[in-house]
Amino acid sequence: MVLAFLCLLPSTLISLTAPVSAQPHPVGSLEGAIDYDRVLEHVRYLSGLGSRVTGYPGSYSASRYISDVLKSYGLNVTVQTYKVVVPIDEGATITLLSPQRRTIKAHALWPNSVQTSPTPPEGVTGRLIYVGDGDLEDFDGKEVEGAIALMDFNSGDNWINAAKLGAKAVIFIEPPHTTYLQCMKKFLDTPVHFPRLYVTEADGLLLREASGNEVRVVSRMRYAEVTAENVIGIVNGTHPQDAIIVSSHYDSWSVVPALSTGANEAVSIAYLLELARYIKEQQPLRSVWFVAFSGHWQGLEGPRNFVEEFFFDPAVQEDEVRI
């Protein structure tokens, strides 16, 4: 099998639909065949499923949706499963202990390497201090040792200052907007145990008003082995022994795993679904495999397992099938 992985570009479709000796169709005509309203519909649906981090409920809902859509277009669909280890947020809370007891829902941040930084079951307790951007001068005059630091999210990696000064944990407040770089500054490749939580802007305002009072933080995140899914939809060509693979990942990533709706990461998979609809309506020379991968953010574990199973299949190795 000769396997070729293709980028999701309209010009790619020329090689999928045209006989070898045929003149390529104008790219514009291919673009006109794509229904971008349908692409947007897929994006909206997938980004409305909740977190699509591999192993989270939204990722399984996305897998089912992709499978159902491909089947509705008439593709032959199979689901490949494999095991992978992912950080699972099992819930986090912040409880105001005074002047009036109140519990706020929070979310754990991405682990520091292998360290998910869970609290003891009873949580950790300390006085809440608001430190703004977390610059060293923001800690002046505050008793940081044993405290719980409340910090604005767009503060780079200044949460490390709180850890160095003896705080027990940090709580980040949802910003009106942020950047990828800000998110990447919120975890380390070093396994430092330091609970980091995230709350909504509204709850952050409430906590700011409660600054100086005692709070209890409970965070439960652990690494767990889950069953992940790759979805494979096949359009058979007139030369079924030859196949081309068009692929995209459908999972998402966020520094707050439980909140990873990933609209931007739904665009490629949405376009793949629309390409599958279009190609199914043609008579491709070669078979086309539309593969939706999970495990993208787990060291490409989804693509790796796909390659292990299909590229090393005896039929491929013996050149009976060329991908």
Query: CATH number of the domain that 146 lies in?
Result: 3.50.30.30
Does residue 56 register a pLDDT over 90? Answer: yes
Is there a domain that residue 90 lies in?
Answer: no
Note the pLDDT tens digit of each residue in 107-154.
999 999 999 999 999 999 999 999 999 999 999 999 999 999 999 999
Asked which of 145, 180, 212 is the last residue of a domain, the reply is 212
Overall number of domains in the chain: 2
- Residue 14 predicted with pLDDT over 60: no
Q: For residue 290, give its domain range.
A: 5-85+224-317
* Tens-digit pLDDT profile for residues 178-231: 999 999 999 999 999 999 999 999 999 999 999 999 999 999 999 999 999 999
Query: Strands 76-96, 214-235: parallel, antiparallel or unpaired by DSSP?
Result: antiparallel
What's the token pair of residue 316? 């491929």
Question: Which amino acid, 214?
Answer: E
61 pLDDT higher than 90 = yes
Tens digits of residue pLDDT in 271-289: 999 999 999 998 888 999 9
Domain boundary among 187, 212, 237: 212
The answer to whether residue 119 is domain-embedded is: yes
Across the chain, mean pLDDT equals 90
Q: Distance from CA of residue 261 to its chain's centroid?
A: 7
**Of 212, 238, 253, which closes a domain?**
212
Strand segments (E) across 159-265: 169-173, 196-199, 214-235, 239-249
Length of the chain: 323
